[in-house]
Chain A
C-alpha cells in the first residue's frame, strides 16, 4: 500500500480566510495571520516577444512556438498565536517558463518544462528566537515540471521536509463522545516530515481547507510548520 495508513495522532483544524474577499487573513487552531503585504510586481507576469513565433504560423496553427515568461510572488506576513506574535515570514517565489513546441518534431524535455525555473525561498524569524532564522527552499510548487512538488525547512541542524502527496486523514478532531471523529478522508496535502515521521499536513486545495498537527508537537516545530503552512496557502500560482 503506497498510501500511508491513517495516522490518528494528526488532529484536524479548519483553516478559514484567504479566499474570502472580506477576510484575507488565515485563521486556524489558535493561529491567525496579519499584515499580508505583496509587492506590486507580484501581480504581473512578463513574456518575451519572439519573431519566430509570429512567422511560423500557418492558418493560426503554430509550426514552432517558444513560450518564455517570468513571474514572481514576493510577500510577507506575520503570524499570531492567541494574539501574540509568533513569527514574521518573508517569501520570494519565482517562475521562469521556457517551453518550446515543434509541430513536426517529437517533443523534447524543453516542451515538458525541463528548462523552467520554479523556486520558492522564504525566511521565518520566530519571535521567541530572533537569533536563528529558519530557511525555506521549495521547488516545482507550480507543478510546471514532471517532478515532485517539495521543499525543505532548515535551521542549523534541524530539518523539516514537506511534499505534495495524498494522505488518509481524520475528518474531525478527536472527541470520545462523537463517534464521527473516527471518520477519515483521502486528501491532497503538503505533508510535513520531521525525523522520518509525518508531524503535520495542510490541504493543497481551497475547498474545505484544513491543517492537521500531531498531538504533543513541540512549540517551535509547530510554530515553524504553522508559518510554512500559511505561506503555502497564501502563495499565488505563477504558471499561466
Chain B
C-alpha cells in the first residue's frame, strides 16, 4: 500500500497541533483582510462560527451517514488478478458517506441562507488475510467526493441563488504518484455561479508554511491547506482550513464579500475528507 496513510497522519497531526500556518503571499495579504475563524472546534451542539464581521446562525446539521456494501466492481485491476492467481480471498467493498447541513450568515446588514450537502463514494479492494495479526487489508481503488451548496442572498437586488460545486475524483488505475511523499493524483476543482458571474474554487496544496513565531519553512511534500477563490484571473479570497483563517480581498462590494464569506464558511464546516484516502 502507498504511503498515503502516513502522509494523512502527518497532516492530521500537524493540523491538530496548529504549530504551522499556511504562508499567504504578501502581494495578496497586503490588500486583504485576515479573519481568524472561531467556533469550528469544540462543543458541536448549537455550533456557531464567526470570522471578522460575519457570524453564522446555529448550524442545523442533518444525518451524517456511512454505509458499506458489496457493489458492482468498476473493473479488474492488477492486484485483483494477482490475488486470484494465489487464491487469496478478496472482496470489493463500496463505502458511501453523506452529510447535510444548513445555516445562515450575516455581515451585520445582509443575510444569506446556505444549504450544503457532501457525498463521498470509495471503492476498496479488501484482502482477507485470515491472520489475526494482519486482519483485513484495504486498498483504495477509486473515490468520488463532491460538495454542493446553494446560497440564497436575502437581498432585493441580485437575489439569484448561487450554486457551489466542489469535486475530487481519484482513480488508482490512473494514479502516477509512486514516490514516498507523492500525494495521489486527483482530478479536482470547483466553482460557484449564479448564472451570470462565476467564482472558481481551487484546492490549495502548498509546501511553504509559517510557524507560530513567524518563521517560514518548507515541507517535504505538498499538503492540502485550503481553497483559493478566484474571479476571472484574480484571487479574491483564501480559505485556510489548516490554520482556520479566511482572507477576503478588500476592494470588493459588500454583496460579493458576503457570497465569498458564505462559500468560505460552508467549506470550513465540511465534515467528510476530500483527500480520497
Mark A residues whose CB is within 8 Å of B. 1-3, 5-6, 61-62, 65, 67, 99, 101, 111-113, 142-144, 146, 149, 164, 166, 168, 171, 179-180, 182-188, 204-208, 237, 239
Contact = CB atoms under 8 A, between A and B. Distances in A.
Nearest to A147: B75
B165 A6 contact: yes
17 contacts: A5-B191, A67-B84, A67-B85, A99-B81, A101-B85, A143-B73, A146-B173, A149-B75, A164-B74, A166-B144, A179-B115, A186-B119, A188-B74, A188-B121, A206-B71, A207-B94, A208-B96
A208 B96 CA distance: 10
A111 B81 contact: yes
Contact of A166 (B76, B78, B169): B169
Interface residues of B, number: 38
A190 B73 CA distance: 14
Nearest to B85: A101
B72 interface: yes
B85 A62 contact: yes
Residue among B74, B75, B86, B152 with max Cβ neighbours from chain A (10 Å):
B75
Contacts of B75: 142-144, 149
Contacts of B167: 3, 168, 186
Given A182-B148, A186-B144, A187-B144, A143 B74 contact: yes
B39 to A, nearest CB: 24
A171 B165 CA distance: 12
A3 B73 CA distance: 21
Contacts of A185: 117, 119, 146, 148
B144 A183 contact: no
A182 B67 contact: no
Given A6-B163, A205-B71, 14 more contacts: A1-B189, A2-B187, A3-B167, A3-B169, A62-B86, A111-B81, A166-B169, A182-B161, A183-B150, A184-B146, A185-B117, A186-B167, A207-B69, A237-B73
